């Protein structure tokens, strides 16, 4: 089923007359077209994509599902939408409350009336379960990321800085076919590896753990991978921490399937870390959904008691971070089915010593 038909089904269920899609990732999801400006207005009878002159020609070619109209200074987004609302007697319009600023909300309200109703749930539910084509697109992004990672591995040395390694990685992600990075890479070494979201620094890579967290975007779809290497020989304690994180990740992966709650997957992994005595050093959740956004629904953490949907693509990224000493995170990406999950990350997970 195409996305317009899927949205119309949701309109029917929710009693709304129309959906106003304004967030960049949701617009891309619903239309297949990427632009920095636009609005997609889907009613029970019509589907109109609005954008400005910078994108109009490309949009007209790329969006077969909808009528594409150009906004101008006189015929604004609100003007077009008001025309459709009047023609179709529309009174209740769902909107993306998580993607719209308060200022934009006030401005829409002033121009089209008090008709906007929170409807993020519609897009979240549609985007969370990936189709076969969407899964293939995510795998394509993952494959690019893995090729880039393998290309930088031989370059790693204590003669380069964390920032230089991050730059090499970004260059290779783009050279290997990424349209963009899905987030700024995290490259942290030695004592700095205890910072889960540390920023690459200008000092040379230190001996000890080296955590690299990175992602490619391909056609808008994101990858997200973390590997922790060791520069020089690890101590027995470092090996124990690494093996504990790996065992926790494997326990979470073994538990992960559609129908179980995000909380229960998190708990399966967290238990392993707690039993090894490191529970206080695993501060974040086990994972998160990813797709056209690198962080999207669902959440695999103690706060999510809801069953995970079939077709969700989620990260599996436990870690142990001991402040002032070192940290380890290992992150793969899973596709959830009723029976279990498919791990779409293929990079090895044994401790690589460089």
CB of 243 to Mn ion, least distance (A): 21
Q: Which of 96, 162, 213, 293 contacts Mn ion by CB under 5 A?
A: 213
162 interacts with, out of Mn ion, ligand GLY, none, CB within 5 to 8 A per kind: none
The packing angle between helices 120-128 and 3-14, to 10°, is: 130
Report CA-CA distances (Å) from 289 to 11, 25, 62, 124, 261: 24, 14, 27, 11, 13
In order of 225, 256, 336, the CA distances from 310 in angstroms are 22, 11, 6
Is the Cβ of residue 224 or residue 266 nearer to ligand GLY in the bound state?
224
CA distance 247 to 313: 21
Q: How far apart are CA 298 and CA 125, in angstroms?
A: 10
- The yes or no reply on residue 213 touching ligand GLY (CB under 6 A) is yes
Single out the residue of 86, 51, 98, 96 nearest to residue 71, CA to CA: 51
CB of 296 to ligand GLY, least distance (A): 11
In the region spanning residues 278 to 317, those forming contacts with ligand GLY, defined by CB under 6 A, are 317
Query: Edge-to-edge, what's the strand order for the sheet holding 225-231?
Result: 186-189, 208-214, 225-231
Alpha carbon 41 to its chain centroid, in Å, reads 24
Residues 308, 300: contact at Cβ < 8 Å? yes
299-328 binders of Mn ion (CB under 5 A): 315
* Residue 79, contacted partner among Mn ion, ligand GLY, none, CB below 5-8 A by kind: none
Q: According to the binding rule CB under 5 A, does residue 224 interact with Mn ion? A: yes
Q: How far is the CB of 213 from ligand GLY (least distance, A)?
A: 5
Residue among 168 and 213 whose Cβ is closer to ligand GLY: 213
Q: How far is the CB of 295 from ligand GLY (least distance, A)?
A: 6
Q: Which of 56, 78, 176, 186 touches ligand GLY (CB under 6 A)?
A: 186
Binding stretches for Mn ion (CB under 5 A): 213, 224, 226, 315, 331
The contact set with ligand GLY (CB under 6 A) reads: 183, 186, 213, 224, 317, 331
């Amino acid at each position: 089923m195409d996305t317009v038909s899927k949205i119309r089904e949701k309109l029917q269920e929710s009693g709304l007359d129309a959906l106003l899609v304004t967030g960049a990732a949701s617009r891309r999801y619903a239309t297949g077209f990427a632009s920095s400006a636009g609005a997609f207005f889907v009613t029970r009878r019509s589907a109109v994509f609005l954008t400005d002159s910078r994108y109009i020609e490309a949009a007209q070619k790329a969006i077969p599902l909808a009528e594409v109209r150009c906004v101008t200074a006189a015929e604004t987004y609100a003007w077009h939408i008001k025309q459709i609302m009047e023609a179709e007697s529309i009174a209740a319009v769902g909107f993306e409350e998580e993607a719209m600023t308060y200022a934009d909300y006030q401005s829409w309200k002033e121009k089209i009336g008090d008709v906007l109703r929170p409807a993020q749930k519609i897009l979240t539910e549609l985007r969370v379960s990936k189709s076969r084509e969407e899964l293939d697109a995510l795998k394509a992004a993952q494959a690019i990321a893995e090729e880039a990672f393998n290309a930088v591995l031989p370059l790693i040395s204590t003669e380069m800085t964390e920032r230089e390694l991050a730059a090499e990685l970004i260059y290779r992600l783009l050279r290997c076919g990424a349209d963009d990075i899905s987030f700024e890479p995290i490259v942290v070494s030695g004592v700095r590896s205890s910072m889960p979201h540390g920023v690459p620094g200008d000092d040379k890579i230190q001996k000890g753990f080296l955590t690299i967290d990175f992602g490619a975007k391909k056609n808008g779809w994101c990858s997200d991978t973390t590997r922790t290497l060791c520069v020089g020989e690890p101590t027995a304690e470092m090996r124990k921490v690494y093996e504990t994180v790996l065992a926790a990740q494997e326990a979470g992966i073994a538990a992960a399937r559609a129908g179980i709650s995000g909380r229960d997957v998190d708990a399966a992994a967290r238990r392993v870390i707690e039993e090894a005595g490191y529970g206080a050093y695993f501060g974040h959740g086990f994972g998160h959904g990813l797709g056209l956004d690198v962080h999207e629904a669902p959440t695999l953490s103690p706060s999510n008691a809801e069953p995970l949907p079939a077709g969700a693509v989620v990260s599996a990224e436990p870690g142990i971070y001991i402040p002032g000493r070192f940290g380890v995170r290992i992150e793969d990406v899973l596709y959830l089915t009723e029976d279990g999950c498919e791990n779409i990350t293929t990079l090895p997970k044994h401790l690589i010593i460089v």
